[in-house]
């Protein structure tokens, strides 16, 4: 008997990478799951793996209608909703503000924030009635960039800081009926893509060889697999294990926040560039 036996969970961005690892772990723990994702072929592959306990819905988290449709499909198939997980997101590949073309900023900002922040707002709005009925849980994927710089560029870091604020505000608004928490992974081997507005839509973080690039900067000395993070979501979804928890973020950053004194700044070249 698993920690989530019989529970019904909806997860966005669950067809690949971290999201799929969470789906697979939740299935192991006995949950029934609906997945909202915009990649139809990956959804089909996911559904084929466990058709009895999986429902898949193609859609875009930026659309409130698609989020509402996912909740309706989930409750129609399984009769209830116990936990909703906002996980779909994009990364800006740590592009510095100085390196961005001013003409790109509007569209890039909108794309990053609409997916990383509004997508979570849409899910919360759509899922709230069902979660109130089940006295359920809402979980958002944050990042070490939700607390510290250099986990992304200005756009991504700002979006993840916004998610931390969203968690705290919604925890206040939804208590005592619904618990709202987050999981903040550190570096991760996944298929995270970038914003189309910056020409990064086909670029995957998996192409960066994080095991070589990031591991030396992680106190635990390695870049975890996506599956290594899934237990944090199980903990926060579990009615038995995290009933007192709301408004918090479970840090799973490999120790990044305790690296101590390191590089002073990343802007040393700016004086040479602009004062010459």
Catalytic residues: 156
Under DSSP, is residue 138 helix (H, G, I), strand (E, B) or coil?
Answer: strand
Q: What angle separates helix 64-78 from helix 119-134, to the nearest 10 degrees?
A: 30
CB atoms near residue 49 (< 10 Å): 12
Match 């359920």 to its residue by tokens. 136
Task: Name which of 7, 42, 8 is nearest 190 in CA terms.
Answer: 42
Distance separating alpha carbons of residues 227 and 38, to the nearest angstrom: 21
Beta-strand pair 83-86/137-141: parallel
Distance separating alpha carbons of residues 30 and 4, to the nearest angstrom: 5
Under DSSP, is residue 83 helix (H, G, I), strand (E, B) or coil?
Answer: strand
């Amino acid at each position: 008997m698993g920690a989530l036996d019989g529970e019904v969970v909806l997860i966005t961005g669950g067809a690949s990478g971290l999201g799929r690892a969470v789906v697979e772990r939740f299935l192991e723990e006995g949950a029934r799951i609906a997945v909202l994702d915009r990649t139809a072929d990956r959804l089909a592959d996911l559904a084929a793996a466990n058709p009895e306990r999986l429902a898949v819905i193609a859609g875009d988290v930026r659309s409130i209608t698609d989020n509402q449709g996912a909740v309706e499909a989930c409750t129609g198939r399984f009769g209830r909703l116990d936990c909703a997980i906002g996980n779909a997101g994009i990364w800006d590949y740590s592009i510095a503000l100085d390196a961005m073309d001013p003409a790109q900023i509007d569209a890039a900002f909108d794309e990053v924030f609409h997916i990383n922040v509004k997508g979570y707002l849409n899910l919360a709005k759509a899922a709230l009635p069902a979660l109130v009925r089940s006295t359920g849980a809402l979980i958002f994927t944050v990042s070490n960039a939700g607390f510290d710089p250099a986990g992304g560029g200005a756009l991504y870091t700002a979006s993840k800081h916004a998610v931390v604020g969203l968690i705290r505000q919604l925890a206040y608004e939804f208590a005592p009926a619904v618990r709202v928490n987050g999981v903040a992974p550190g570096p991760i081997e996944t298929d995270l893509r970038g914003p189309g507005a910056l020409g990064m839509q086909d670029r995957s973080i998996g192409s960066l060889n994080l095991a070589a690039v990031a591991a030396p900067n992680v106190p635990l000395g390695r870049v975890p697999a996506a599956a290594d993070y899934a237990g944090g979501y199980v903990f926060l979804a579990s009615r038995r294990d995290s009933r007192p928890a709301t408004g918090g973020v479970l840090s799973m950053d490999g120790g990044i926040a305790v690296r101590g004194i390191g590089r002073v700044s990343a802007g040393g070249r700016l004086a040479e560039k602009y004062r010459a």
